[in-house]
Structure 1
């Protein structure tokens, strides 16, 4: 009798984020068969993303890389390129600056986000290709996939999930994984 070979299961390459019933800042994130609660922007989702509008873009965004707090995320497993966050790491969100929507180093006098945050949101912070490979001023910056605030509070336009859920899916993510916001 001949043995039947099972095909290896193909890991999902798409993360789908769809609205959850209730609040416009709540969502459901699906990766393969895993479905978890998530938070999106305080203004919900939009097809017309603008800097500072508090909305998450309705789009398909590829994962590019990530950042992690080494002292808080030891044993992190992923195929994504991950850089350890240092104290001097910032992200420029000043639309009229040449570094708009790019990482920069402190000291930096223009408007920016600190990557080494005290609230833990960026202990794992994945960079999605929103307005990065093809930048346009005021189209939105620092649209990340990161960890959630207690109570699934809204983000400023990012996608956020619980640390246990991030740890669960992170080993399957790689550069090019698509995050599809519906």
Structure 2
């Protein structure tokens, strides 16, 4: 663990000497993640991408990629593109990345079960904006918009999300 890693603790998400209130999955923490269980997987997860809504926020970091209309994330364990970003039209189960609500205005992609996904081990484990303070997620880690916007430009290559 390095000082630049994001570390989930009972008090919140620690990063660069600060602790931010956060939310985790409604299923709590798990060492045996399964698709649809609502749990946040334990482990050291690399942050492998940053996506943002360019129509809602400024580019938060040089390596951030805009979310375009039609960008989706496959959550269908039966599909070969399971746990990968895909584009519409897409006939399998998926999650829209360009949402009407602000949850995915800025999101960090973890390497949970990625890039070669084991079918059924869980998909779309992100760090994103919370629905409301500490409101449980479907398995992701969520923060306030203000806190995530503070964190994003400070992330560097190799940062991990540590979930103990």
TM-score between the two structures when normalised by the length of structure 1 = 0.85
1:107 equivalent to 2:94? Answer: no
* Contact persistence 1:40–1:154 (CA under 8 A): yes
* Contact persistence 1:93–1:142 (CA under 8 A): yes
Q: Which moved more, 1:52-61 or 1:160-169?
A: 160-169
Consecutive unaligned residues of structure 1, counting only runs of 5 or more, are 1-10, 21-27
- Separation in structure 2 between the aligned mates of residue 150 and residue 37 of structure 1, nearest angstrom: 11
Q: Which moved more, 1:52-61 or 1:172-181?
A: 172-181
- Separation in structure 2 between the aligned mates of residue 86 and residue 132 of structure 1, nearest angstrom: 21
1:38 equivalent to 2:29? Answer: no
- Separation in structure 2 between the aligned mates of residue 38 and residue 151 of structure 1, nearest angstrom: 7
- Separation in structure 2 between the aligned mates of residue 61 and residue 161 of structure 1, nearest angstrom: 17
Q: In the alignment, what sits opposite 1:78? A: 61
Q: 2:151 aligns with which of 160, 166, 169?
A: 169
User: Per-residue deviation at 1:172?
Assistant: 1.3
User: Per-residue deviation at 1:43?
Assistant: 0.7
Q: How does 1:44-123 map to 2 (within 5 A)?
A: 44-74=28-58, 76-79=59-62, 81-123=63-105
TM-score between the two structures when normalised by the length of structure 2 = 0.94
CA-atom RMSD in angstroms: 1.4
